[in-house]
């Protein structure tokens, strides 16, 4: 039996983070979840810990409730992505391996010398991948997060990946960090937190240079059969951009994952062309 068979038969979801398998068991197999976990350890030798995801990510720090099922007794691991190394404790910080392609897409857009503000940086995932894998090197990536555990891991990961000269982790609320020390500095702003992106869009605009720049905002879009999720995303962001009275161009709108039936995680790439008339509310 392969890991794929185990997933197909018994699991609602399976994510591999470093050497930890994070599983959601189909409700009808809840009673045999420990046996399923043992099978996973046996079938995939590189997995050393199996944990059950007991809740969706929640709270300000976006962490999930976990139950340890089998293997080594720990929630800490080292995850590798595109040659970058990420240390983390999956019970204390947010991390998903599902956005790796999206992280690389952003990295490939970055141009030489750019200043980037990552408003919701977690353990430094996007920032470190950009610093190490962008074809042209950015000059600085300010990586803000409000979770002290995420900030501490970001500091450590920046050192492990030897990008201390580029990535600057900052602990705090993105809104306060930007208004107090990062106004008008950025060529590009990342907003990888769907629950807060629209609400904090004005701070992303504030972080951009007077000459404008690019914002990548992530959001969840629920849609009906008759609706186009890309249009819904576009309308949601255009309404705000018009309120702010900035000149803009929508460069791209993409799906970055399906989070539930008829609900996508999406990203919109917005180019702010001119913020002279920018109005805050």
Ligand X SMILES: C[S@@+](CC[C@H](N)C(=O)[O-])C[C@H]1O[C@@H](n2cnc3c(N)ncnc32)[C@H](O)[C@@H]1O
Question: Is 145 among the residues that bind ligand X (CB under 6 A)?
Answer: yes
Question: Is 18 among the residues that bind ligand X (CB under 6 A)?
Answer: no
Binds ligand X by CB under 6 A, chosen from 10, 126, 153, 248: 126
For the stretch 14-35, what's the b/e string if a residue is b when 16 or more beta carbons lie within 10 angstroms of its beta carbon?
bebbbbbbbbbbeeeeeeebee
Binds ligand X by CB under 6 A, chosen from 15, 43, 89, 173: 173
Closest CA to 270 of 230, 237, 243: 237
Question: Is 121 among the residues that bind ligand X (CB under 6 A)?
Answer: yes
Give the residue ranges of DSSP H helices in 57-184.
100-109, 125-133, 148-160, 174-181
Question: Cα angle vertex 78, ends 76, 83, to 5°?
Answer: 165
For ligand X, the closer of residues 125 and 152 by Cβ is 125
Binds ligand X by CB under 6 A, chosen from 47, 71, 132, 147: 147
Binding span for ligand X by CB under 6 A among 6-14, 39-47, 143-151, 260-268: 143-151
Binds ligand X by CB under 6 A, chosen from 23, 150, 166, 233: 150
From the CB of 277, what's the least distance to ligand X, in Å? 27
For the stretch 242-262, what's the b/e string if a residue is b when 16 or more beta carbons lie within 10 angstroms of its beta carbon?
eebebebeeeebeebbebeee
Binding span for ligand X by CB under 6 A among 56-64, 203-211, 244-252, 267-275: 56-64
Closest CA to 121 of 98, 103, 101: 103
**For the CA atoms of the chain, what is the radius of gyration?**
20
**8 A C-beta contact, residue 204 and residue 193:** no
Binds ligand X by CB under 6 A, chosen from 122, 169, 213, 229: 122
Binding span for ligand X by CB under 6 A among 94-102, 109-117, 232-240, 273-281: 94-102
Q: Which residues bind ligand X (CB under 6 A)?
A: 60-62, 94-95, 99, 120-122, 125-126, 144-147, 150, 173-174, 192-193, 196
């Amino acid at each position: 039996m392969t890991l794929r068979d185990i997933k197909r038969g018994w699991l609602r979801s399976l994510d591999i983070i470093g050497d930890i398998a994070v599983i959601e068991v189909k409700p009808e197999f809840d009673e045999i979840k420990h046996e399923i976990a043992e099978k996973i350890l046996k079938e995939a030798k590189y997995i050393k810990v199996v944990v059950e995801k007991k809740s969706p990510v929640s709270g300000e720090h976006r962490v999930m409730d976990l139950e340890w099922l089998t293997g080594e007794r720990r929630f800490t691991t080292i995850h590798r992505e595109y040659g970058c190394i990420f240390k983390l404790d999956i019970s204390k910080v947010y991390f998903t391996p599902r956005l790796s392609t999206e992280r690389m897409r952003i990295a490939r857009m970055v141009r030489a010398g750019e200043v980037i503000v990552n408003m919701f940086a977690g353990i430094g995932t996007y920032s470190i991948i950009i610093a190490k894998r962008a074809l042209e090197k950015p000059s600085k990536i300010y990586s803000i997060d409000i979770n002290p555990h995420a900030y501490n891991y970001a500091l450590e990961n920046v050192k492990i990946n030897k990008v201390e000269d580029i990535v600057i982790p900052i602990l705090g609320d993105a809104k306060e960090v930007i208004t107090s020390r990062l106004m008008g500095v950025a060529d590009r702003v990342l907003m990888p937190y769907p629950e807060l992106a629209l609400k904090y869009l004005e701070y992303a605009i504030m972080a951009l240079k007077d000459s404008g720049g690019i914002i990548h905002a992530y959001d969840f879009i629920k849609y009906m059969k008759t609706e186009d999720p890309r249009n819904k995303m576009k309308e949601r962001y255009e309404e705000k951009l018009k309120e702010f009275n900035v000149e803009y161009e929508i460069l791209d709108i993409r799906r970055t994952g399906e989070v539930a039936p008829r609900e996508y995680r999406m990203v919109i790439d917005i180019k702010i062309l001119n913020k002279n008339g920018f109005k805050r509310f």
